[in-house]
Amino acid sequence: MTDPGSPEIIVLPDAAAGATAGAARLADLLAAAAAARGVAHFATTGGSAAAPMYRAFLSPAIRDRMPWDRLHIWWGDDRFVPRGDPDSNVTDLDDVLLAGDPAAGLAGAPLPAERIHPVPVAETLAMRGDESAAADEYGAALRAALPLVDGLPSFDAVALGVGPDGHCLSVFPGSEAFAADPAATALGIPAPSHIGPHLPRVTIHPALLGAARGIVVLSFGGSKAGVIARILAPEGDVRVLPARLARRASAAWVLDSAAAAGLPDQD
């Protein structure tokens, strides 16, 4: 196996500073892609990191760097619930990035509906399909829209969070996703029993992280310090700690000081 290299680790004093730094890094990746190829494909995330990241995108200093007119937004994973459900990873995008915060003077992002690509859950449910059927549709859409690297769709930027069990995307410890054919592109994942919400998921294949041009991992808070230290240790098993998939040279890990508390002192 080719050594994926070591990520850049960026430690900020608090979560607000971390979200701003992560959003700025993503904005630079997306702007560079749009300048080079006329389009930028972004796989966003859910979880606790999503809303602070979206709010940071709307701040004046970062908003003006985002290639809104050439940006396509996808999701690395989502729960098998329709858009509008509180458990959907699309909710924070709708409520924060698109809605903005008029009271704070932050207008919503100028993103037309046709450039926002959620997992087609509602459409699949209307056809009485399950998470695997939705994954098939989503994978086909990715293969049709994104450039390919070694046969895999290549995002210009991927944002990731880290679960308390060390998962990323909806790839959990011991996941069967590791044995799946990467050509599937997206996978249906049964509802996890060990972590909530206990809902089926759709996730991109973990191999797509290796094809991405840039990855930004956002993780904040002392509750993540132990698992972050294990993930970023020199040795470890990706099947036990799937977030080690993002322990690669193409990734920047943006942490606050609480989440980084278990790491060796950074020079």
Q: What is the pLDDT along the chain (267 residues), one digit of tens a residue?
A: 467 889 999 999 999 999 999 999 999 999 999 999 999 999 999 999 999 999 999 999 999 999 999 999 999 999 999 999 999 999 999 999 999 999 999 999 999 999 999 999 999 999 999 999 999 999 999 999 999 999 999 999 999 999 999 999 999 999 999 999 999 999 999 999 999 999 999 999 999 999 999 999 999 999 999 999 999 999 999 999 999 999 999 999 999 999 999 999 755
The pLDDT assigned to 5 comes to 82
The pLDDT assigned to 132 comes to 98
Strands 40-44 and 71-75: parallel
Q: Cis bond leading into 197, ω under 30°?
A: yes
Give me the phi and psi of 186, to 5 degrees please. -130, 150
In the chain, the domains with their CATH numbers are: 25-256 (3.40.50.1360)
Strand partners, 71: 40
Decide: residue 184, CB within 10 A, 0-12 exposed, 13-18 middle, 19+ buried. middle
Q: What pTM does this model have?
A: 0.96
